[in-house]
A and B are shown apart, each in its own frame.
Chain A
Amino acid sequence: MGSPVKRALLGALVLVAAIPASAHHSTTAEFDVAHRMTLSGTLTKVDWVNPHIVVFIEAMGAEGAGNVAWKFESNPPAWFRRVGVSRADFAKAVGQTVTVEGNRAKDGSRYGYLVKFTYADGTSLELVAPGSDR
């Protein structure tokens, strides 16, 4: 409700310039949208919760450091449902090596906003600006 056109335009500009905006807190208040990080590791868990789904990754740390746990949140479950993605689409990869791309939390924690999820077989799911197929 209460959606002035200028806000929609601002949102569109943000989309073009950076990662998809969150339906929740400000994306730029939390994540470094200017840089996209890539991480490979084992998918250990999927939380299908509001306001953001969360995937858990065990990534190889520096030599001798053992595995390092990362979390990446993404869009709300209701959004994923409407673009045809269910929890099972992520959960089927639990235990497998996956590659995630996203924007890291500005506070430096091992937390990010998931933008692209690539399965071991090379298939991927990616959040893109509307109209990216045109």
Chain B
Amino acid sequence: MKQRALLLTLIVVTAVATLAAQTNNGHPDLSGTWLFSIDLPPIALKRTTSGGATTVKGIDASGRRPAAAAVAGALPFTAAPAYKPEFRAKVKDLFDHESRTDPVFYCGRPGVPRIGSPRRIIQLPNEFVFLYEDISGDPYRIIPADGRPHKKDGNPSHYGDSVAHWDGKTLVVDVVNFVDDTWFGEDGFFHSDAMHVTERFWRDGANLVYQVTVEDPKVLTAPWTMAPRVVKPSTDPLEESPKCVEADSKLLVNDDHHGQR
């Protein structure tokens, strides 16, 4: 009886290990649930009981912020993109009036890359599924990684058309075919329909690293690579985001910035 149990355990362990190896095809495992990377207020909550005892709980917004320290494998990056001279006034104007001009403030979809890294990655042998939680809704992306080219007949979209390949231990996701009504950064960073985004994902110990390069030859003088984000694993399961109902725009009395990133 003991021998049969041992044999059964061996078979199960072998099957699981084989499945895991097949799933990753020998590549790093990026699958899992990851810390949120959307913009949330960097505020804490203080609870006070009727007896006066208090507890304070904050949020960990590290997945949205530029990495605090140098990250192994990261590309060189700069703080801001370089726009062609004829577009710099437009960027400034959008930024100066962001409370009125930022599509995200009006429940607009952030698109790629502004949405940040996925909340969940499902890694299949030749395909990735990225799941997100966002204030505007919860998009998903199904990304082939079997060598196929971009779709020839796809409609432009906020999250674009993606294909992926491995470059060593880095997953490179190539994204094209965007609509032109999103910003790729909060500071009025508009783009054209020619935007081409390259997302890079790799593991740094238990963490996921995410770094983005934006190219747009119509409006930028050169590709822009952003600072990497180090995203921690999360035990917080995904939850459907409530509907977005914009109610503040009619109450704006000036063009102050929201002062938060």
CA distance A14 to B257 in the complex (A): 11
Report B228-249 residues with CB < 8 Å from chain A CB. Answer: 236, 239, 241-249
- Contact pattern, B 69-84, Cβ under 8 Å of A = 1, otherwise 0: 0000000000110000
The answer, yes or no, to whether A68 is at the interface (CB within 8 Å) is no
B245 touches A50 (CB 8 A): yes
Report B183-198 residues with CB < 8 Å from chain A CB. Answer: 184-187, 189
A20 touches B41 (CB 8 A): yes
Contacts of A129 in B (CB 8 A): 43-44
CA distance A116 to B44 in the complex (A): 12
Stretch at the interface among A36-44, A58-66, A80-88, A90-98: A80-88
CA distance A12 to B66 in the complex (A): 16
B260 touches A23 (CB 8 A): yes
A30 touches B252 (CB 8 A): yes
Chain B, residue nearest A109 (CB)? B251
A79 touches B41 (CB 8 A): yes
B253 touches A107 (CB 8 A): yes
Once A8-B65, A133-B56 are accepted as A-B contacts, the answer to whether A50 and B105 lie under 8 Å apart by CB is no
Once A26-B259, A126-B45 are accepted as A-B contacts, the answer to whether A51 and B246 lie under 8 Å apart by CB is yes
CA distance A77 to B248 in the complex (A): 16
- Contact pattern, B 45-70, Cβ under 8 Å of A = 1, otherwise 0: 11111100011111100001110000
Contacts of B259 in A (CB 8 A): 7, 10-11, 13-14, 21, 26-28
Contacts of A12 in B (CB 8 A): 42
The answer, yes or no, to whether A48 is at the interface (CB within 8 Å) is yes
Q: How far is the CB of A31 from chain B (nearest CB, A)?
A: 8
CA distance A25 to B259 in the complex (A): 10
Of the residues A1, A80, A82, A123, contact of B236 by C-beta under 8 Å: A82
The answer, yes or no, to whether A69 is at the interface (CB within 8 Å) is no
Of the residues B43, B46, B184, B243, contact of A50 by C-beta under 8 Å: B243
B251 touches A133 (CB 8 A): no
B242 touches A73 (CB 8 A): no
Contacts of B4 in A (CB 8 A): none
Once A23-B135, A79-B43, A106-B253 are accepted as A-B contacts, the answer to whether A2 and B242 lie under 8 Å apart by CB is no
Contacts of A22 in B (CB 8 A): 41, 258, 260
Q: How far is the CB of A56 from chain B (nearest CB, A)?
A: 12
Q: How far is the CB of A55 from chain B (nearest CB, A)?
A: 13
CA distance A76 to B133 in the complex (A): 12
CA distance A132 to B113 in the complex (A): 33
B57 touches A83 (CB 8 A): yes
Contacts of B105 in A (CB 8 A): 24-25, 51
Once A2-B185, A26-B99 are accepted as A-B contacts, the answer to whether A82 and B114 lie under 8 Å apart by CB is no
A107 touches B251 (CB 8 A): yes
Of the residues A29, A81, A85, A132, contact of B239 by C-beta under 8 Å: A81
The answer, yes or no, to whether B136 is at the interface (CB within 8 Å) is yes
Given known contacts A25-B252, A78-B133, what 15 new A-B pairs fall within 8 Å (CB)? A1-B113, A2-B187, A7-B260, A14-B259, A21-B43, A24-B248, A24-B258, A50-B242, A50-B243, A51-B105, A82-B236, A106-B251, A126-B45, A129-B44, A131-B44
Residues of B within 8 A of A (CB): 36, 38-50, 54-59, 64-66, 79-80, 98-99, 105, 107, 113-114, 116, 133, 135-136, 184-187, 189, 212, 226-227, 236, 239, 241-249, 251-261
Closest 6 CB pairs of A and B: A2-B185, A133-B56, A83-B45, A122-B50, A20-B43, A29-B256
- 6 pairs of residues in contact across A and B, judged by CB atoms under 8 Å: A21-B42, A49-B243, A50-B242, A79-B41, A81-B239, A83-B59
